[in-house]
Structure 1
Amino acid sequence: MTTDEAVAEIAGVMKKAGLVWLSWGGRRAVPAWFAAVDGAYVVLADRDGSAEQPLPGLVDADAVEVVVPAKPATSRLSGWSATVRRLEPGSEEWTAAAQVLRTERLNAAGLGNQLDRWQTQADLLVLEPTGTITAAYDDAHPAVTPPETSATTRGKRPITLHRRASRRPKLS
């Protein structure tokens, strides 16, 4: 498969996606919403812990693995690799990409100052396909061990398993 054919196939797959899973630098994949702009895909990465999507370290990554989930969330439609490029805030390309991304943003708060907030608190990153498709459709469930956490159970289970109390209080 040539690079142009791969990019065309990626474009067809990305039309069906509402979000993608991104992994870079050996990290676990994280979900990200995106917008298609002139054959490339733009994501918004939070810079200062604001209300935008957290993608820590993506701005410094050279390459990223993109996984497009299929509609049943237990399978993947495709996987491909991309290069990462940061757009300079205020440039003509940044403004055009931000306008397209703004229309794709769901549940946006503060639409009046959204672009100003993005200039100061977030990075617009372009994911340009390299033409390498890493995974085709796979309907096998990708079982992954959950990340380590400090969460724990409350304590012992109640003694009354599979039984109800013999007397219920009357409802008045």
Structure 2
Amino acid sequence: MTTDEAVAEIAGVMKKAGLVWLSWNGGRPAPAWFATVDGAYVVLADRAGSAEQPLPGLAEAGTAEVVVPAKPATNRLAGWKASVRRLDPASEEWTAAALVLRTERLNADGLDTQLDRWRVEADLLILEPTGEITETVGRYDGQSRLETPTGSTATTRGKRPITFHRRSNRRPKLT
């Protein structure tokens, strides 16, 4: 498969997705929403620990593995390699990408200051296909995707309380 054919196949798959899973530098995959701008895939990556999409280190990674999930979200539709390029906040390309990405941002807070906040607190990154498709429908590797959950400070309440005088499981007779 040539690079042009691979890019065309990736474009067809990406039309079906609103979210992708990105992994870089051997780290855990992270979900990321994106927008397609003039055939390029733009991702917003938080830089300053704000409320935007946390993708630490992606801007410096250089390359990333992109996994496109199928709509039932239990299957993979495709996987491909991308080179990562950071857009300059002063460029017209950044402004055009930010305006398109802004429409894709769900439940955004502070729409009037959003673009100014992105210039300071986030990076707009372009994911450019390298032409290498790692997975497609019917061609998956045999690698296990099971991973242990990440550590968290969240806890449970403990055991469920005992309930006295439960409802009977038996249905009443209909007359």
TM interval, shorter chain, is 0.7 to 0.9
Percent identical residues: 73
Q: What SS class does the counterpart of residue 99 from structure 2 fall into? A: helix
Structure 1: 5+ residue stretches without partners: none
Query: How far apart are residue 115 of structure 1 and its match?
Result: 0.8
Alpha-carbon displacement from aligned partner over 1:38-69 (angstroms, at most 9, x marks no partner):
22100001111111100000111010000000
Where do residues 105-120 of structure 1 align in structure 2 (5 Å cutoff)? 105-120=105-120
Distance 1:166 1:112, change over 3 A: closer
User: What is the match of residue 90 of structure 2?
Assistant: 90
Query: How far apart are residue 146 of structure 1 and its match?
Result: 2.0
- Is 1:146 aligned with 2:146? no
Query: How far apart are residue 153 of structure 1 and its match?
Result: 4.8
User: What is the match of residue 29 of structure 1?
Assistant: 29
Q: What SS class does the counterpart of residue 81 from structure 2 fall into? A: strand
Contact 1:75 1:142 in 2 (8 A): no
User: What is the match of residue 128 of structure 2?
Assistant: 128
User: What is the match of residue 170 of structure 2?
Assistant: none
Mapped to 1, the partners of 2:99 and 2:166 lie a distance apart of 64
Alpha-carbon displacement from aligned partner over 1:129-149 (angstroms, at most 9, x marks no partner):
001001112699943332244
Give the residue type in structure 2 aligned to 1:21: W
Q: What SS class does the counterpart of residue 79 from structure 1 fall into? A: strand
Q: What SS class does the counterpart of residue 77 from structure 2 fall into? A: strand
Where do residues 40-119 of structure 1 align in structure 2 (5 Å cutoff)? 40-119=40-119
Mapped to 2, the partners of 1:42 and 1:167 lie a distance apart of 54
User: What is the match of residue 38 of structure 1?
Assistant: 38
Please, what is the CA RMSD of the aligned residues? 2.3
Contact 1:74 1:142 in 2 (8 A): no
Alpha-carbon displacement from aligned partner over 1:69-120 (angstroms, at most 9, x marks no partner):
0011111000000000000002111111111111111111111111111111
Mapped to 2, the partners of 1:29 and 1:167 lie a distance apart of 44
Structure 2: 5+ residue stretches without partners: 168-175
User: What is the match of residue 11 of structure 1?
Assistant: 11
TM-score normalized with structure 1 length = 0.86
Mapped to 2, the partners of 1:167 and 1:100 lie a distance apart of 55
User: What is the match of residue 165 of structure 1?
Assistant: 164
Distance 1:150 1:110, change over 3 A: closer
Query: How far apart are residue 151 of structure 1 and its match?
Result: 4.6
Distance 1:165 1:27, change over 3 A: same
Mapped to 2, the partners of 1:156 and 1:167 lie a distance apart of 18
Q: What SS class does the counterpart of residue 31 from structure 1 fall into? A: strand
Give the residue type in structure 2 aligned to 1:147: T
